[in-house]
Every structure is written in C-alpha cells, then in structure tokens.
Amino acid sequence: MSKTNRTISYFIDDRGNRCALVPLANCDRFAILYAYKLAELEETGISLNWQLNSNGHGRTYVKLSLPGRDGRVVARLIAGAAYKQQVHYLNGDPLDLRCDNLLIGKGGKAHKDCSTLPILTDLDSDWESAE
C-alpha cells in the first residue's frame, strides 16, 4: 500500500517529551521517535521513506529505503548499534523507536554497524563481514 500523505506529525508524550510520528510507506501505521532524534537523522540526509518489514519469523521492524542500495533498520541507527549487536524493544513494540525503548544486546548474526550515524555516501562502507 502506498502512502500518499507522508506528513510527519508531532506530539508531547506522557513524560513531557516532544515526539514525532513518521508515517510508514507500506501500511497505515506510524513509527514513534523523539523529535530531536528525527532531526539528527534528517541532518545526515537519511531518507524518511520508512516501511514496516518482517524477518519472516514473526518479528517486524522499521526499515528505511535507499534507492539502489540495501536499507537500514532505523532502530539500529537510533541506538547506535555496532557490528554483531542486536536492538531489543523493551515494551515489545517495534514501532516505538524512542531511545528509552531501545536496548542494545549481543547478537549471534552479522548485523550492519550503525554505531555512528552514516551519511548517505558512507552507507556502503559500514558493513563488516562475519568472521
């Protein structure tokens, strides 16, 4: 499903933090993150063409699309997850990308290094191969 209205809206959460609702391209749902984190992502030039993906085993996640390149899991970018680290959602909601909902843990699979917010020209160089 293509989303025609991709307007980001803002609200104050129950803890008084300014949050952004980013519409997802392939469904009628929104990702939630702190407004200052969204501003940091926008400053790097990262696309706001986000979508809800599935790993095929019942887990979903928000991914950003990059034309001509592979995408990135938005939670990994926000949390600054490094190679072989996984991001867990403390409240179980993969659409809640607020920093205090993201916990970095060790993972057994090779994950892309997102320990620094890459600019678009560096996105291909942050993949490290598994040993």
pTM, two decimals, is: 0.78
Rg (CA), the chain: 14
- The answer to whether 97 and 31 are in contact (CB under 8 A) is yes
Q: Which pLDDT tens digit goes with each residue over 88-124?
A: 999 999 999 999 999 998 765 555 555 544 433 333 3
Q: Is the dihedral of CA 13, 115, 111, 123 positive or negative?
A: positive
Can you read off the two tokens belonging to residue 11?
């609200």
Is the model's pLDDT at 5 over the cut of 60?
no
List all residues 6 or more positions away from 69 whose beta carbon is below 8 Å from its beta carbon. 123, 124
